[in-house]
Amino acid sequence: MKWLCTNCSGVIRGRVQFCPYCGQRIPERIQASPPRLDTVQPNALNAGHENQALQLAGAGFREGMKVSLCGPGIERTLAQEQLRIVDETQATILADCFHVDGVWKAKISSPEGLTSNEAEFVVKPARAPQITSVSPPTLTASSDRRQVVNEGTNLQEGLKVTLRSPTSETYSITAQDRVHVLNETRAIE
């Protein structure tokens, strides 16, 4: 059984008369309580491979805690650099594992291994990209490589661009070194 020292909050295992951390005589012991996870915000996000920030709210947050995420077919414990403790009741995580839509669960574990309840959030299917403009609007026939800028919405890394010629021939560009997504609304080929 694990207990907390009432003087220094050190974790004590078993029955002892003195805290091994601060030396304080232990007149009474209080059982260590697990952290609590109340909410994950946003509670709905879009699927994608990019880093997404989530805010956790609850109680008992402190340095050394671990955050675990579980989604359809995916379980991941985040690295410490993906976690920022704001205070005892708030933390922010940064993760890039939300490429599968469905109901996800988060939980936290204290440095002593005590685990919180789970809080659910939803990952919605990725939105389809929409191209609203192409610049330049016309090109002359050439074997030279040309730069084309696509503008639209929901443009993400890994984007596949398909071009159709006036004779209905199609050309697909998928190589990462040939399609660069600048942000969600702009890509360069």
CATH value at residue 94: 2.60.40.10
Q: Are residues 26 and 55 in the same domain?
A: no
Q: Are residues 152 and 120 in the same domain?
A: no
- Measured between its terminal Cα atoms, the distance across the chain in Å is 61
Q: What is the pLDDT of residue 29?
A: 43
Domain boundary among 73, 107, 124: 124
Q: How many whole angstroms separate alpha carbon 166 and alpha carbon 188?
A: 21
Q: Are residues 88 and 59 in the same domain?
A: yes
Domain that holds residue 93: 36-124
Q: Are residues 97 and 53 in the same domain?
A: yes
Q: Are residues 137 and 57 in the same domain?
A: no
Q: Are residues 26 and 97 in the same domain?
A: no
Domain tally, the chain: 3
Instruction: Choose the weakest-confidence range: 49-63, 89-103, 123-137.
Output: 123-137
Of 1-10, 50-59, 119-128, where does the model show the most confidence?
50-59
Rounded percentage of the chain residues whose pLDDT exceeds 70: 81
Q: Are residues 43 and 107 in the same domain?
A: yes
Mean pLDDT of 38-63: 90
Please give the residue that has the higher pLDDT: either 154 or 93: 93
Domain boundary among 124, 157, 179: 124
Q: Are residues 118 and 43 in the same domain?
A: yes
> What tokens does 47 get?
């699927």
Q: Which of 62, 170, 75, 46 is nearest to 109 (CA)?
A: 62
Q: How many whole angstroms separate alpha carbon 158 and alpha carbon 128?
A: 13
